[in-house]
Structure 1
Amino acid sequence: MSLVQLLGFGEQGWGSTLLLALLMTVVLTIAALAVGAVFGALVAAAKLSRSRTLRIFGDAYTTLFRGIPELLIIYLFYFGGSSVMTAVGRFFGADGFIGVPPFVVGALAIGLISGSYQAEVYRSAVLAVSRGEIEAARAIGMSTATLWRRVLIPQVIRFALPGIGNVWQLSLKDSALIAVTGLAELMRTSQVAAGSTHQYFTFYMVGGALYLVLTSLSNRVFDRAEARVGRSFRGTLARH
């Protein structure tokens, strides 16, 4: 079979399967980044809190999820979660093994890892905001909600965006580890295609090329977002 047929969209081609796997990788990474944004924001708030207990919790979270290998975390969530689900099922009279959905495990595991990095990004962004602006806003009687909406959030987004771009790239690469759960993302599909056709070099090269395409497109998106936020911020300063 020729390379064109092998990678084509015919009955024996893997083109459509690889594109669906590419889409699954993107969706998984977006879901993980969203999960990480929630946990990252909460942990950043904890690390910036005046409460020593919350600061200890925040430090423990980032140390744990940045210190343990990503693959081990995925194994713990997938096999540990399946064991818990099976035990709960047996308690209620169900028989057999109950597995957790690979996509949910992937989004949660990578999201929690992502959250440990996003927390540091958000914390640094908040600390980068000028204290003088915050004090001036409070001096004119601005409420806390208005302070966050008009002063803090716009600047935190501006300062955090480059770091979030790096976290996105990290999560995109970590999504390949979800192949161990059997989810048909890009890495798993490349493995299956290579094993089915014995064209290992071809499909691993194609998989790598598709990851590079995602990385390049992602860099463009974040570069444009940074430029747009920067122009918007300068326009706001000019109006004031």
Structure 2
Amino acid sequence: MTLDLYGFGPALLAGTWMTIKLALSALSVGLVLGLLGALAKTSPYKPLQWLGGTYSTIVRGVPELLWVLLIYFGTVSLMSSIGELFGIRGLALSAFAAGTIALGLCFGAYATEVFRGAILAIPKGHREAGMALGMSKPRIFWRLILPQMWRIALPGLGNLFMILMKDTALVSVIGLEEIMRRSQIAVTASKEPFTFFMVAAFIYLGLTIIAMIGMHFLEKRASRGFVRSAS
């Protein structure tokens, strides 16, 4: 029996590509925010610790769907005011940009804790060795701390990315035509909800498997030197 997609196959492929772009964009934003948040929480300065803790606590305490809605609809008046100031009518934040910011914000809050745990897992003696060699603090971070932190944090970040990949479905509520939005349109037109939602499920499963394979190779590559030194 062949699967009848009623001509919506290309639309679902386009939705899949949109999902991939959204996930990778949010990942980029989230990694930066997560790293900054972890550095703030492990900083010796109390204001930075408070700032990093407040960010991770507030963002993790609010559902991702609410962040998508708040960022998308909350910027309407702001963007309108900016547009009027510069004489641009109809200025608004796109659904893709809002989804990227919202999902990146949420990913970064959880990644903050992953990076923080990785930083604390690195022995203090490594920093002291770098200082004994006359290395500056930025150089110690980039040459000694960051490579080790990346190796330790990678499994946790991989799990977060799997969650992020599926959370992209939330952006369909603000009209972004990713997998779920395209599937809903196909269901409305064809009256075949089981068919298209099952196809969407298999697409998400396929993306997750590909991401898992990619994470496996990244973890293996990041651990090469560590494995040799431990053997």
- Please confirm whether the aligned pair reaches a TM-score higher than 0.5, indicating the same fold: yes
Q: CA deviation at 1:91?
A: 5.3
Q: Which residue of 2 aligns with 1:168?
A: 161
Deviates more, 1:142-151 or 1:16-25: 142-151
- In structure 2, stretches of 5+ residues that fail to align are none
Q: Give the equivalent residue in structure 2 for 1:73.
A: 67
Q: Aligned to 1:62, what secondary structure does the other structure show? A: helix
Q: Distance in 1 between matches of 2:122 and 2:87?
A: 56
User: 2:220 aligned with 1:227, yes or no?
Assistant: yes
CA distance in 1: counterparts of 2:86 and 2:208, whole angstroms: 46
Counterpart-to-counterpart distance in 2, 1:102 and 1:33: 17
Aligned counterpart for 1:47 among listed residues 35, 38, 41: 41
Corresponding residue for residue 27 of structure 1: 21
Out of 128, 132, 150, the residue aligned to residue 135 of structure 1 is 128
Cα distance between partner residues in 2 of 1:143 and 1:89? 45
Distance 2:91 2:77 in 1: 8
Q: Per-residue displacement from partner, 1:144-178 (whole Å, max 9, x unpaired)?
A: 23322331111011001001101111211111000
Aligned to 2:114: 121
Q: Which runs of 5+ in 1 are unaligned?
A: none
Q: CA deviation at 1:48?
A: 0.8
Deviations along 1:107-128, one digit per CA (max 9) or x if unpaired, are 0110001110111111111111
Query: What secondary structure is seen at the aligned counterpart in 2 of 1:105?
Result: helix
**Partner deviation per Cα, 1:44-72 (whole Å, 9 max, x = no partner):** 11111111111111111001110011111
Cα shift at 1:14: 1.4
Pair 195,148 (structure 1): closer, same or farther in 2 beyond 3 Å: same
Cα distance change on mapping 1:133 and 1:90 into 2, 3 Å: closer
Q: State the shift of 1:90 in Å.
A: 4.5
Structure 1 residue 136: deviation in Å? Answer: 2.0
Find out whether 1:62 has 2:63 as its counterpart: no
Give the % identical residues. Answer: 41
Please, which of 186, 191, 210 is the counterpart of residue 184 of structure 2? 191
Bigger drift between 147-156 and 32-41 goes to 147-156
Query: What is the CA–CA distance in structure 2 between the aligned matches of 1:147 and 1:187, rounded to whole Å?
Result: 45
CA deviation after TM superposition for structure 1 residue 99, in Å: 3.4
Higher relative contact order (CA 8 A, sep 6+): 2
How much has 1:229 moved relative to structure 2?
Answer: 1.2
Cα RMSD (Å):
2.0
The amino acid of 2:168's aligned partner reads S
Name 2:78's counterpart in structure 1. Answer: 84
After superposing the two structures, state which structure 1 stretch, 215-224 or 225-234, moved more. 225-234
